[in-house]
Every structure is written in structure tokens, then in C-alpha cells.
Amino acid sequence: MRIIRFLKNWTLPVSMISGALAYLVCHTLPLDYEIKSDILSFTEFIQPVLLFFMLFVAFCKIKPTDLKPHRWHVWLLLTQCSIFALACSILWAFPDTGARLIVEGFMLVMICPTATACAVVTQKLGGDSAATTSYTITINLVVAILCPLLLPIAHPQEGLSFVPAFMVIINKVFPLLIVPLFLAWFVRFLMPGFHRRIVNTKDLAFYMWAVSLAIAIAVTCKALAHSEESMWNVGGIAIVTLMACLFQFGFGKWIGSRYGVRMEAGQALGQKNTVFIIWLGYTFLSPITATAGGFYSIWHNVVNSYQLYRKRKETQEA
């Protein structure tokens, strides 16, 4: 019972350590190339599947009428978009800067949409998951428009223009965000018995996210271990992503405190879809900038672990 209680209380740290250990074991064992390739293919397949069902379970607990815009959404959108645009302008004005990769990593973690798991963590922290879900949908749509407009300016590539880049991003966002939402509403209205069973299953989405997090950390370790970039760039990306993480959680809470949603706004701005960061870096920028997503995954989950610890202590003391 002590072990089970420990695992429940420290799910996120255990997931992160398990992911790192899983990579080390796979890397150390004398496995054939084909087996390692199969393991990689399986992780690439299972992670979006887990995210899909995790979102579906989370959306089942949210009424369609609860999804509406809020004033604090506007401030968070302005913050993300303006800083991203400023970073793109710097790279456009100084294309040969030695800090290009660091700036690219920073702007990715700033414009990255809210994590699909944000609603799950918000529920665990006792907040309004519908408000963060509304922002998650909004920022994903904004990113789908803004990134194709500005990324070709920051990182010019032959053949990279708005329409194909927009379609690539939409194809990435739509299946993992919009489809689970519509499926959850379908189940709510047409399969009420099944819907009740999902809603009454406590922390199902949270534990799905824990497994997904372990996989994400394993992929991050792989990317860092195989990186051939200088320690200057890797260390610089680690530092700026940590600064960006602390700023976004702090600024989000500051904005949210003015509207009575301190925790919700902090999660909406600070908790990121790090898988999307990694994909965006590999697809539109440089492979090394994808490590920004890996570092941010560590930072924001450390913050989440601390917040869940504080919430648990407050509950025990109440």
C-alpha cells in the first residue's frame, strides 16, 4: 500500500525518471538495429494514441456550453504572439547571429500552444478545466495561422510558404485536438451510459498522461544523447527554456490573479505541448532546436510536480 500511495503522490517524477531509465536500458542493451527501430516506431505510434484518448476522457468531463472565451485569454494570446513576432524580427534583422539556435528554441517555447494535458492537470489542481480547454483550442488555431506567416521570415527555406505550412500544421493539430472534442460530445449526447462510466473513472486521463510523459522523456533523452551540437547551443537552449518556463507560469498567474483564475491562467500559459515543439523544430527549423521541447518538458513537469505536491499538502492540512 505504501508503494501504491507513493506512486499516486509522485506520479510525474516517477514517469520522468522511468522515461529516462527506459532510454538508458534500451541504449545499453546489445539490441539489433531492427529491434531498436521497432521500439522507436512503437513509441511514435503509441504517443499520439495516448494523447488522443487522454483528451477524449478529459473532454468528456466538460460541457459544450462551458467552452467560451474569457478576457484573460486575450492577454495570454497577446503575450505569446508579440514575443514570438519579436524573436522572428530579431532573426530576420540579424540572420547570421551566433545565437540563432538559442533564439529559435526560445521562440518555439513561447509560441507553442497549451498542452493537451493542461485540462487534466487543471482538474487535479482543483481549477476550471473548461477555461483552459477553451484557451487550448484558441491558441492552437492562432498558432496554425501565425507560424506559417512568420517562420519563413525567421528561417527562410526553399518552398516554405504560408499555404503548405498552414496545411501541415492543421493536419498535425486537427486529429489530436478537434476530433477528440467532437467524439466526446458525440458520446455525451448519444451514449450517456458509456459517458457516465468514463466520467466516473477517477484520474484515468491523468495516468494516461503519465505514460505519455515517460515516453516523451525517453525521446528527449535520445535527442540529447545523439545531438552533435556544441555545449554552448545545448546549454543556451536549456537556460532560455527554463527562463521561458518560469516567466510564462509566473506571468500567467499574474494576469489570472486579476480575473480570479490565477492557477488556470498560469497553467494555460506555462504548460506546453512539448511534442508539438519538437515536431515544429524538426519540420520548420533546425533539429537541434527540437531539444527545446525536451528541456521544456522537464521544466514544466517539475513545476507541475511541485504544484501537485502543494495541492496535496493543502488538502491534507484542511
Half-sphere exposure of 131 (CA within 13 A, CB side): 23
d(CA 248, CA 135): 15
CB neighbours (10 Å) of residue 96? 6
**Residues in Cβ contact with 2 at an 8 Å cutoff, skipping those fewer than 6 apart:** none
Rounded to an integer, what is the distance from CA 117 to the centroid of its chain?
7
Report the percentage of the chain scoring pLDDT > 90: 16
Q: Inform me whether the pLDDT recorded for 246 exceeds 80.
A: yes
Mean pLDDT of 134-145: 86
Of 83-87, 134-138, 224-228, 249-253, the poorest mean pLDDT is in 224-228
Burial 226-240, CB ≥16 within 10 A → b, else e: ebebeeebbebbbeb
For the stretch 51-67, pLDDT in tens is 777 778 777 777 777 77
- Give, in order, the Cα–Cα distances in Å from 66 to each of 39, 69, 132, 135, 247: 40, 10, 11, 12, 28
Q: What is the pLDDT of residue 294?
A: 79
Q: What is the mean pLDDT of the chain?
A: 81
Separation CA 70–CA 131 (nearest Å): 8
Q: Does residue 210 contact residue 13 with C-beta atoms inside 8 Å?
A: no
Q: Distance between CA 156 and CA 162 in Å, rounded?
A: 12
Give per-residue pLDDT as tens, 94-103.
887 777 888 8
pLDDT at 6 over 70: no
* Residue 159: per-residue pLDDT: 62
The answer to whether residue 252 scores a pLDDT higher than 90 is: yes
Interval 12-49: pLDDT, tens: 777 778 878 887 887 777 777 777 777 777 777 777 77
| Cβ partners under 8 Å of residue 131, min gap 6 | 70, 261, 264, 268
* Model pLDDT, residue 318: 58
